[in-house]
Amino acid sequence: MSAGAVAQETGAALARSDADGLNATLYWSQEWLDAQAGVIDRRASAGETLPLAAIPVALKDNIVTTDAPTTCASRILEGFVASYESTASARLRSAGALIACKSNLDEFAMGSSTEHSAFGRVRHPLDPERVPGGSSGGSAALVAAGVVPAALGSETGGSVRQPASFCGVVGVKPTYGRVSRYGLVAFGSSLDCVSVFGRTVSDASRVLEVISGPDPLDATSLDMDPVRPAAGRRDLAGVRIGLPREYFPPDLDAGIRAGLDRTIAAVRALGAEIVDVSLPHTRYAVPTYYIIAPAEASANLARFDGVRYGQRRVGPEGDIRSLYRATRGAGFGPEVRRRVLVGTYVLSAGYYDAYYRKAQRVRGLIAADFAAVFGTGVDLLLTPTTPTTAFRAGEKTADPVSMYLADIFVSAVNLAGLPALSLPVGRSEGLPVGAQLIAPSRRDELMLEVAAVIERTVPAAEDVR
């Protein structure tokens, strides 16, 4: 199929999803698609090898491109067009991919439901009253709705795995540093990872291979080859899989439990050895995250000051301070404001040791928990991705902490910089259930190889009960 034809099809699918009220896109246009397709078709005719030739990929709208706006779903960046291209999107384009659209997200990637977008929430493709998860809800919904086969999102505290689990698609977070952050609008710099959604493990792997690899423009990028899982693994003989007891609490949602039980049984049948393990500091992961991420965010978002770009407002006093305060007061939504203020508070004089330094030490303990378990010969961990299936819109917005608790099974991974993914393993009362694999640092390939095997065996959309 020519890129031109793909562009037409993709545009039609995007138009349909907009008409359906999915609200998963913040920017797309047929002209943009057609222009890109023209370039791809010319390159293909000229004999260039394009690994992702004309594959449409959605881009979370916190990844910058020069030919579309990047708003981070915030009023403060309404209309902003970056004058440089992110490394991730540049690599996609170099491989011949078609950037389908910029997708909706929680504002500045802060949230777990995409309800905190300044441009309206995203609807869950299977139930419009429910959320697709967040912060990369738009990208997850577009893949789940079949509009695109793959999408980029970003993770800071589970923002790709959690919506992948809610939406029933594959969501892959690489080892921190294996994909360049250059051009990803920073939220929590020591946690942020460009991550990938796919209909299948293979789709996600192909995209991840293209975007990963060292980047001289990102001093935190690792000197490692692109992620390239081997094909051909037939079963899980010789693989030791750990089940951390802290991720299987007695009151775990019954549907989630059933989905995991089915997956564990399948994994055992494939020849894996299952062992019980413990990650004792798990319950401190979310509170640790909610000190470190807001602290880093408070500095990362200081550049949004109305001076050089973005929307500007000036208060009645008419001086520079009132420019800052009015711009940021009007431009940031309530969740962003809360996090920037909490972050400012925990870094401020007199509080730094008690909060930020303490949190960094607890983070060290959490990372050490994983290292200790992997050091005993466990190859991978298998856990639920989320404590529940997709919740209803409005259910968790009144109390910020209740929203944070959606991330209890995903946050520790970001704190420890590990690779992890969510795989759809069934449905509970019609809603997707996700299982999570966590690998040791830099073992992304093993994780993807094992996930591909499980995917072949465990039906993704079958009722679990």
Partner 1 sequence: MTIGRDQVLHAARLAEIAVDEHELDALVTQMARIVAYVEQLDEVADDAGVAPYAGGPAEVRLRDDVVRPAALAHPVSDMAPEFRQGFFLVPLRGTMEDEA
Partner 2 sequence: MSDWETVIGLEVHMQLRTRSKMFCACSTAFGDPPNTNVCPVCLGLPGALPVPNAAAIRLGAQAALALGCTLHHESVFARKNYFYPDLPKGYQISQFDRPLATDGTVHFDSAERGRVAVTIQRLHLEEDAGKSLHDRVPGRTAVDLNRAGVPLAEIVSGPDLRTPAEARAWLTVLRQILLYTGASDCSMEEGSLRVDANLSIRRTGDAALGTKTEIKNMNSFANVERALEAERTRQIGLVESGKQVRQVTLLFDAASGAVRPTRSKEESHDYRYFPDPDLPPLRLTTEWEQQQRTALPELPEARRRRFADVLGLAPYHAGVVSSDRPLADYFEAVVAAGADPRAAANWVAGDVMTGYNADGAFAVEPARLAALIGLERDGVVSLQAARRVFAELAAADADPRAVAERLGLVQVRNADALSAWVDEVIAAHPAETARYRGGETKLIGFFVGRVMKLSGGKADPKGVQPVLKERLG
Please report how close the Cβ of residue 448 comes to partner 1 at its closest, in angstroms: 19
Residues between 200 and 219 with contacts to partner 1, criterion CB under 8 A: 216, 219
Partner that binds at residue 86, options partner 2, partner 1, none, CB closer than 5 to 8 Å by kind: partner 2
Please report how close the Cβ of residue 419 comes to partner 2 at its closest, in angstroms: 19
Please give the torsion angle defined by the CA atoms of residues 146, 148, 152 and 157, in that order, rounded to the nearest 10 degrees: -10
Instruction: Determine which residue in the list 2, 30, 202, 360 makes contact with partner 1, applying CB under 8 A.
Output: 360
Of 17, 60, 195, 205, catalytic: 60
Phi, psi of 242 (to 5 degrees): -95, 145
Instruction: Determine which residue in the list 108, 247, 355, 374 makes contact with partner 1, applying CB under 8 A.
Output: 355
Q: Which of 158, 163, 157 is nearest to 197 (CA)?
A: 163
Using an 8 Å Cβ cutoff, are 122 and 22 in contact?
yes
135 carries an active-site annotation: yes
Under rule CB under 8 A, residue 344 binds partner 1: yes
Residue 301 or 464: the one with the smaller Cβ distance to partner 1 is: 301
Q: Segment contacting partner 1 (CB under 8 A): 161-169, 174-182, 201-209, 377-385?
A: 174-182
Please report how close the Cβ of residue 134 comes to partner 2 at its closest, in angstroms: 19
Using an 8 Å Cβ cutoff, are 386 and 290 in contact?
no
Distance CA 271, CA 423 (A): 19
Q: Which of 187, 228, 232 is nearest to 209 (CA)?
A: 228
CA 8 to chain centre: 27
Amino acid code (one letter) for 146: G
Please report how close the Cβ of residue 396 comes to partner 2 at its closest, in angstroms: 28
* Sign of the dihedral defined by the CA atoms of residues 265, 267, 270, 275, in that order: negative
Under rule CB under 8 A, residue 306 binds partner 1: yes
Provide the binding-site residues for partner 2, judged by CB under 8 A.
62-64, 70, 72, 77, 80, 82-84, 86, 181-186, 188-190, 216-220, 295-296, 298-299, 301-305, 307-309, 320, 324, 344, 347-349, 352, 356
Residues between 79 and 108 with contacts to partner 1, criterion CB under 8 A: 80-85
396 carries an active-site annotation: no
Please report how close the Cβ of residue 206 comes to partner 1 at its closest, in angstroms: 25
Please report how close the Cβ of residue 26 comes to partner 2 at its closest, in angstroms: 15
Of 139, 154, 159, 205, catalytic: 159
Amino acid code (one letter) for 410: V
Partner that binds at residue 287, options partner 1, partner 2, none, CB closer than 5 to 8 Å by kind: partner 1
Distance CA 354, CA 462 (A): 48
159 carries an active-site annotation: yes
Distance CA 229, CA 209 (A): 9
Distance CA 70, CA 63 (A): 7
Using an 8 Å Cβ cutoff, are 60 and 138 in contact?
yes
> β-pairing, 56-60 with 98-103?
parallel
Catalytic residues: 60, 135, 159
